[in-house]
A and B are shown apart, each in its own frame.
Chain A
């Protein structure tokens, strides 16, 4: 045992004086999040950081005193969320995406090396959800005031012609605007059809593109009729867990509210889960950036169906443009009196993958660290603030619009599904296809392979590989599962022959070890040990497979949430693909 650190000091040392600049920043942040409640802790910190560039200890202490939120709790959040920083080092930090798609994209390494060589502070980041534009880097302005509450991003990229770093800010303060999306020729899109077809602040334009029809139809139905309609469609959740949506809606509609209103005055909630952080997934981002009024309309339909009086959009912090578009959409609807007496609010995530897990997301909105809770009780009765809560993925909710405008039968005949496809394909992007479309057709839609295919990863870092012989699998939950993979969140990553799949496995293992919230032992320590074991496996020492299987079983069986339960999927699937028993 090493020597103990002995620090004996006067108990409760006098507090350091707080500078007027810090006092003013904290006061402005408190005003921005008013009324101040414990659940406003994360937005409060985001607002302070937006002004000061980072969170100095004096600001935390002062904010704690002013807001009556314990300093230890504020510090717990700062150390938990990646996008909060106590680093006073002025200048710009560039987060270079180092995840499964970008690290295999041409020029990815060059981007990181060049940025580092140019004297910039470079940090490698998990998937930024901009895979169709890879290699991607986002910058956070640290030590520099910015008017963006969630950090202030400037995007960088490598010029494909010259190989030089394109000038910072080339994509504007909120990242690249355009996204590539499409559908097969002759197919009538049900989800992507309105993307980019109207001006986001113009309701007439939106109505001209077919907007607001679904909301009108929904209001003509009683909540129970609406729930019955969704139930009869057999729509299942698109976020990855594939839970029947109608069952959730029914649960919330019928849930009693014995505890009355939550701290924000609502009895029941709808939460739009847009913390889209699964590696290689960016379908929700495209919907929110290109059809924000549609996303809001769908959420309001859900709120009408389940009787919720407040809607939260929890959007991952790395999506500044989506945060902007959705905030503006709420303003547009509110000004036009379309909110139907309901309140809606955007909450920006703090940069933690696990917050996409529904109960972790509740904890995050409530002002706690985003750690999952034990289920049961389930969110339908004990969700946000332990009130009945409907939580659905953006894409799941978007299906409600065609369900209402086209009818259940027309929707059922197609069952539209979005896929974000990236990697070794010519035109990475978001594509809408009908259920049962063969995977190969989706890849053709994305411009086909750019090099001979080695494997296709379905469902991101928590998903599984399909081999070159399995590319004709029809894209339905059942068929893909039968092929030994998962549709998951709709992420499709194509790896060509030049990709090192063991490197992919190593990165995925590191991703889970980094992103585990640390709450439960199997996931917290299992993911850390998996990193070490994957290094051995990657070196061809397959005697460690047995131990890996043991850790996998414990993570799958005993972890609290899906993060730990899926953390070994990719590695196991690679072992299978490589024929290791």
Chain B
């Protein structure tokens, strides 16, 4: 296998061609926060929380989507990187309800995201209502970060059902079920549950879980995150990859 040599945070790294910067950084012992990324899905690179600094690049680079190149000099923990990550999380928190998104909370705590420092926010997704139109799962658009994991899973990446797609534009973007009423029961949805399993924010949730949470019987676990340890806390063992 052809190997590529690069430098990550001052350490020389050798990785097979095709490895992403995120994987190479992990090999060098540095975890990268990710939200839209999932190892079973094609890369969307839309959450931008995994950005890193690459020498001679004009902007920061999404480490989940960028393959290693010979001679790259990558820094994953500069002020610029920390600030961009902080702002991405902070902006997300001004827009959506993150109470059932333990990863966003953990990253946000680490990077010091403070959504309270904004002037009055108008028309945030937070104000949208929960939709229960089928016996299996709820759709809580107030929590949707538009990472497209569900859309990718439903269509090209796993299920090949193509029941849902992104609708709207700007910060009115959301996931739509195709019909004008946005009723999932009028779509080709087969209720496979792949989208529910992949949702990182709890915007899609099984009805049983939704009701148990509503009754206060379970809460959202508090996770910790740092570049050295990655995500730690209840239920994360599988996630540390």
Chain A residues with a Cβ under 8 A of chain B: 1-13, 57, 61, 70-76, 79-80, 86, 352, 369, 374, 376, 513-522, 524-529, 531-533, 535-536, 544, 547, 550-551, 553-554, 556-560, 565
Contacts and interface: CB of A to CB of B under 8 A. Distances in A.
Q: Name which of B43, B171, B185 has the most chain A CB atoms within 10 A of its CB.
A: B171
B179 to A, nearest CB: 7
A259 to B, nearest CB: 17
A213 to B, nearest CB: 39
Contact of B167 (A5, A80, A559): A80
B132 interface: yes
B180 A525 contact: no
Nearest to B173: A518
Contacts of B121: 529, 532
A525 B48 contact: no
B188 A70 contact: yes
What does DSSP make chain A's interface, helix, strand, loop or mixed?
Answer: helix
Contacts of B155: 70
A565 B60 CA distance: 11
A9 B133 contact: yes
20 contacts: A4-B129, A5-B131, A9-B185, A12-B186, A57-B179, A61-B179, A70-B155, A72-B165, A72-B187, A374-B62, A514-B169, A521-B48, A521-B145, A522-B88, A524-B146, A524-B173, A529-B91, A550-B87, A557-B84, A560-B45
B47 interface: yes
A12 B59 CA distance: 47
Nearest to A370: B169
B129 A522 contact: no
Contacts of A61: 179
B84 A553 contact: yes
B87 to A, nearest CB: 3
Nearest to B132: A6
Contacts of B218: none
A7 B182 CA distance: 11
Contact of A554 (B62, B91, B172): B91
A565 B167 CA distance: 23
Contacts of A536: 119
Contacts of B59: 556-559, 565
Contact of B176 (A6, A76, A514): A76
A70 B162 contact: yes
B168 interface: yes
B52 to A, nearest CB: 11
A579 B77 CA distance: 34
Given A521-B92, A553-B83, A11 B134 contact: yes
A558 B179 contact: no
Given A8-B135, A518-B146, A559-B48, A547 B117 contact: yes
Nearest to A544: B119
Contacts of B95: 525, 528
A513 B131 CA distance: 26
A338 B51 CA distance: 48
Contacts of B173: 517-519, 524
B30 interface: no
B166 A7 contact: no
B183 A551 contact: no
Contacts of B45: 374, 520, 560
B144 to A, nearest CB: 11
A521 B147 CA distance: 9
B131 A76 contact: no
Contacts of A57: 179-180
Contacts of A547: 117-118
Contacts of B83: 550, 553-554
Contacts of A554: 83-84, 87-88, 91
Interface string B181-195: 001011110000000
B206 interface: no
Contact of A352 (B91, B94, B169, B171): B169
Nearest to A78: B167
B170 A557 contact: no
B178 interface: yes
B163 interface: yes
Nearest to B85: A558
Given A12-B185, A57-B179, A550-B87, A557 B60 contact: yes
B189 to A, nearest CB: 9
Given A57-B180, A75-B180, A526-B91, 18 more contacts: A1-B142, A5-B133, A6-B132, A75-B179, A369-B166, A516-B170, A518-B171, A518-B173, A519-B146, A522-B88, A532-B118, A547-B117, A553-B80, A554-B88, A557-B51, A557-B80, A558-B88, A565-B59
B169 A10 contact: no
A156 B41 CA distance: 49
Contact of A522 (B66, B91, B169, B176): B91
Nearest to B146: A518
B185 A11 contact: yes
B165 to A, nearest CB: 4
B166 A525 contact: no
Contact of A518 (B65, B119, B130, B168): B168
A366 to B, nearest CB: 13
A525 B94 contact: yes
Nearest to A565: B59
B164 A72 contact: yes
Contacts of B65: 374
A515 B87 contact: no
A532 B117 CA distance: 13
B138 interface: yes
Given A72-B163, A557-B80, A79 B168 contact: yes
A71 B178 CA distance: 5
B169 A558 contact: no
What 5 pairs across the A-B complex have the smallest Cβ distances? A518-B173, A554-B87, A72-B178, A70-B162, A4-B130
A558 B84 contact: yes
Given A529-B94, A536-B119, A550-B83, A13 B187 contact: no
A515 B177 CA distance: 23
A72 B163 CA distance: 6
Contact of B118 (A7, A529, A558): A529
B56 interface: no
